[in-house]
Chains A and B, each alone.
Chain A
Amino acid sequence: MSLETVKQGDTCRVIKINGRFDFSCHSAFREAYSGSPTGTEFIVDMAEASYMDSAALGMLLLLREHVQQTGGKVTITNCRGQTYDVLQIANFHRLFKIVQ
């Protein structure tokens, strides 16, 4: 796995997931959102993600908690195949804006 964070202006961060989105991403993912200014909008780009597991769901929940505290929002984009199924089974569309 690898993870890349792109800042778009002061209020938007794109977190790009490459390969397997699992526990190995844990600290990199946390770093990607920690210290973000109030009201930051996060886009988790799953275009290059080949797989995600429940640990990844947990990380998304942590991001959600962070956003709830700092006032912002999270959008998960480019979900397809296995990653979409996992989000679907967990009904995460009720917690996040998920774009296929």
Chain B
Amino acid sequence: MPANSSHSVPAHSGASEHGHEQERVHNCSDASDPLDALFDGALTETTTRKALCFLRAALSSTRVILGQIDDYGELVIFNEARAGAERVLFDLSGVGFASDEWQGVWGDALREARALTDNRPHTTGPQHLRYQRAVAAPLRFDGNLIGLVLATDKASDYDEKDLQTIADFARRAAPVLAYTLTQTRFQRQLGAAEEMASAAAEGERFFMMSRDPMVITEATVKRANAAFTSLMGLRPQELQDKSLAELTHPKDRELLERELHMMRTEPNREHNAVTVDMVTSSGELRRVEWTGAATHDGRVYAVGRDITVLSWAMEDLAITNAELQRLHGEAQAEEQLAARVIAHVRRQGNLDSPGIAYVTSPLGLFSGDVQLASYMETGELRWVLADFTGHGLTAAIGTVPLAGAFQLACKRNVGFADMIGIINDMLNGVLPPGLFCASAWFSLSPDARELRIWNCGLPPVLVRRGRTGIVEHFDSQGLPLGVVSTFELGITPTHIRVDDDDDIFVFTDGMTECTNAQGQQFGMERAKAALSGALRPREGFASLMQAVASFRGEEQAKDDLSALCVSVGQTRAGSHARNSEPSQGSVSSADSSQR
């Protein structure tokens, strides 16, 4: 505000002329001292600027600088230095000088705590504070150094009067600056206190709002939140003079006290949670997991978590788990026993006699595939390949009565079609609806010249004629067993002539439907191709199995794969017949088998 400044400040107060003296007197009478108006209350930006303008004029100086000593003992410059009212020479506001940077006349003035002049140029130190002649006075209040006022670059030397003027100014300004600094500091502290109070209030709100129990404890409980008192069923005043251990079940007291002790002795370490049973006012137990931290004075801040229900659930789970493990063990033992029984039943008969080759690859312990063979008293050879629906035990269970009935029927000389009928009726009664048995049944006459086939639900049976290399197929003729009554079934086996060089193949859909990496199925055509090459009799089975293996490659089997081959000439009947009469060759073709 230049207009104001020029009004209240004489233009050339440095020159001691009477006129000016009178003007000053006049001003003084107007307001006893112009500084009074300026140092009215605290220093503001405006009053500071006015005061410094006044001083600059009074000292005929180019620049005037006011600084304060801050809490760290640094001189911090208040104002930018100005030439005239408006032009900013440089901005030092906020720049601090530590005491070892106090240089020149102002440094001496601060250290010696008195006003000093120096009419020599000062050329060292920060650019801003170099000067041609200077006068400086420290601001002191209550025995403490609180600031500095510095005027520089007067056209002529500063004299005693200037020294007096700046000293006066400093004396007048000091209490105002002190007041300002105190007020600022007070405001700052007030702000910090308000912040702390509000943080404390927020903390308190969290403390009381939390649904987790919280306790502040020394030797006894000092404070507890609502969650804790309601958990324990106690009123806050009932907690007075009680220790946390007293509220804990006797069995856990030692554990709790040990943890509290560790928190107090090592307050800076993070401590593990400790889980104890707390005893409520009604004598109930609540399982609480405590975590906490201690202050250096031994006060422990503990936060709990009521895990009573959780721990019940965990216990239940452990019991259930143990029960499951036991049941699983039992089931495993039972399964192994059942698997042994089933394996034993299947091994009965003459499956491992000459002329019969087979593979079986059950996916698990149990398989729904079964292959059986048996020589009858008459010398007739019967065999069957059966595939029960489903997998595992469900599928395997049906194989037991089937094997029993097959062996019994062979032993009792039951006719071929009758045997199938009996087994069908038996399975029809035993198997639940939806489960059935796809199978193919064979009977080779005692002279090994006549073969009867009943294919009910399996992929076509293949007969490879050794003499010609031709492969004939005999498709499924009837419903799988176990679906309808034998009366409805109408079992009429196909009769064909066979020769010693003929091989008879039967397999489950596990073979025709097995897939390669591209998802293609093996299929009947590949099976036939594997058998129709320039093979010698009895090499067919190995060729077929090789074809399946190389087709499948690395692919895992999805279904049980069973296959069986009877080489007519190798069977007991065949080797007997070979010695008596030459074979007649086939009389039946693939087409004739279609009925």
Residues in chain A within 8 A of chain B (CB atoms)? 23, 53-55, 57-59, 61-62, 65, 82, 86, 88-92, 94-95
Contact = CB atoms under 8 A, between A and B. Distances in A.
Contacts of B456: 91
Contacts of A57: 389, 436, 480
A57 B479 CA distance: 11
B434 A91 contact: no
Contact of B479 (A23, A62, A86, A95): A95
A52 B513 CA distance: 11
Given A58-B434, A61-B436, A95 B389 contact: no
Interface string B153-196: 00000000000000000000000000000000000000000000
Given A54-B387, A89-B457, A90-B438, 11 more contacts: A53-B513, A54-B389, A54-B438, A55-B390, A58-B436, A65-B433, A89-B438, A90-B480, A91-B456, A91-B478, A92-B479
Contacts of B306: none
A90 B434 contact: no
Nearest to A51: B513
Contact of A95 (B387, B435, B483): B483
Nearest to B559: A53
A62 B459 CA distance: 23
B471 to A, nearest CB: 18
Contacts of A91: 456-457, 476-480
Nearest to B460: A89
Contacts of B479: 90-92, 94-95
B338 interface: no
A5 B476 CA distance: 32
A57 to B, nearest CB: 7
Contacts of B438: 54, 89-90
Contact of A62 (B433, B475, B476): B433
A61 B432 CA distance: 10
Contacts of A62: 433-434
Contacts of B435: 58
- Of listed A59, A89, A94, residue having the most chain B CB within 10 A: A89
- Of listed A53, A54, A55, A58, residue having the most chain B CB within 10 A: A54
Interface residues of B, number: 24
A77 B7 CA distance: 113
B457 A90 contact: yes
B381 interface: no
Contacts of B402: none
9 contacts: A58-B389, A61-B483, A62-B434, A65-B433, A86-B509, A89-B457, A89-B458, A90-B457, A91-B477
Interface in B274-298: none
A84 B541 CA distance: 28
B357 interface: no
A58 B389 CA distance: 8
B461 to A, nearest CB: 12
A86 B390 CA distance: 15
B388 to A, nearest CB: 9
Interface of B: 387, 389-390, 433-436, 438, 456-459, 475-480, 483-484, 509, 513, 521, 559
Nearest to B433: A65
A60 to B, nearest CB: 9
A14 B40 CA distance: 100
B434 A59 contact: yes
Interface of A is mostly: helix
A80 to B, nearest CB: 15
The 4 A-B residue pairs with the shortest CB-CB distance, nearest first, are A58-B434, A54-B389, A62-B434, A89-B476
A16 B206 CA distance: 60
A65 B436 CA distance: 14
B236 to A, nearest CB: 58
A23 B390 CA distance: 9
Nearest to A30: B434
A61 B433 contact: yes
A61 B434 CA distance: 5
Contacts of A61: 433-434, 436, 483
A68 to B, nearest CB: 10
- Of listed B433, B475, B477, residue having the most chain A CB within 10 A: B433
Contacts of A94: 479, 484
B513 to A, nearest CB: 8
Contacts of B521: 82
A11 B434 CA distance: 24
Nearest to A90: B457
A42 B192 CA distance: 83
B509 to A, nearest CB: 8
A82 B559 CA distance: 16
Contacts of A55: 389-390
A7 B404 CA distance: 47
Nearest to B483: A61
B159 to A, nearest CB: 108
A92 B479 CA distance: 7
B460 to A, nearest CB: 8
A42 B479 CA distance: 21
A22 to B, nearest CB: 10
Contacts of B458: 89
A89 B387 CA distance: 13
Nearest to A91: B479
B286 to A, nearest CB: 44
Contacts of B390: 23, 54-55, 58
A58 B390 CA distance: 9
- Of listed A57, A61, A65, residue having the most chain B CB within 10 A: A61
A24 B527 CA distance: 29
Contacts of B480: 57, 90-91
Nearest to A93: B479
B594 to A, nearest CB: 12
Contacts of A86: 509
B453 to A, nearest CB: 14
Contacts of B484: 94-95
